[in-house]
Amino acid sequence: MQWYYAIDGQRLGPVPHAELERLLQSGALRGDALLWRQGMDQWKTLAEVKERDPGMFAAEGPPPLPEPPVALPEEKTPDIARREPSFPASVDATAATSDALVYAGFWQRAAAFVVDAIIWLFGLQILSNIVVLLAFPEMVQMTEAIAAAGGSMAFKPTPEQMVVLVQFTALVMVVGVIWAVVYDVFFLRRFSATPGKMLCGLRVVQSDGEPLGVGRIVVRTLAKGIVGGPTLGIGYLIAAFDEQKRGLHDFFCSTRVVKKR
């Protein structure tokens, strides 16, 4: 059973039922805290949930400590015996609260995407020019011929020129894919965020909040290209309607885009 909860207007979770009980016992959750889980029609306060099903949660806090034995006058109780025991539940509750994921909004993701697309296209332009100089020097003359003809629509390439155009286009596409993979692997491994996401205060993590490995980054980058074109962008748009703001590629790779804490 997974629970979502809200404190001071901030939604947190999901956390398992046992974790919710630790938060309750530590005092991190009060009676006015809002709770929701699958099957509930709306958010309810903790007090309402406990009133509806009193047996759902264990008793708040441990039972009272036993009375200490009466020490004889000549006996001295060591200091260590008078120390209060420590309860790690409060530490766990604090850690669970601080590690809760806050998912990025759709428009934040869109703004980060635009920034990254501009950087990627700028880099691809530089790499395409290098490809022209090293592998297709005849493209320079062909570009001049296209300009002289009044544009690409008016230009009538010869069969030899058509072969060069197809080869050049295919090579640029391959270079573009490699450039996209290198771009994502470098930034996501080093910063857990691309420049666009860093600018928007976002980062990319696994569903449990851990950083992405190289393999998952490569698959996610390729998935972005696959779901973006064939779905006409719908693979990205579904993030606007998903509760955790996931694009289709995030579903495939079990990744999340979250706000930095």
Distances (CA, A) of 25 to 62, 95, 162, 232: 8, 15, 73, 49
User: What is d(CA 91, CA 121) in angstroms, rounded to the nearest whole number?
Assistant: 47
How many degrees, rounded to 5, is the angle at CA 216 between CA 109 and CA 196? 25
Count, residues in the chain = 261
Return the SS3 of 69: coil
Query: pLDDT digit string (tens) for 233-249?
Result: 788 888 889 888 898 88
User: What is d(CA 245, CA 238) in angstroms, rounded to the nearest whole number?
Assistant: 8
The larger pLDDT score, comparing residue 255 to residue 3, is at: 255
* Mean pLDDT, residues 130-146: 76
Query: pLDDT digit string (tens) for 20-68?
Result: 778 777 777 777 778 788 778 788 887 887 777 766 665 555 555 667 7
Contact 129, 136 (CB under 8 A): no
- In this prediction, residue 83 carries a pLDDT of 53
Question: How high does pLDDT run on average in the chain?
Answer: 79
Candidate ranges 1-5, 56-60, 128-132, 200-204; pick with highest mean pLDDT: 200-204
pLDDT surpassing 70 at residue 70: no
pLDDT surpassing 70 at residue 193: yes
How many Cβ atoms sit within 10 Å of the Cβ of residue 36?
Answer: 19
DSSP string, 144-201: HHHHHTTSTTT----HHHHHHHHHHHHHHHHHHHHHHHHHHHHHHHHHSS-HHHHHTT
User: What is d(CA 151, CA 133) in angstroms, rounded to the nearest whole number?
Assistant: 22
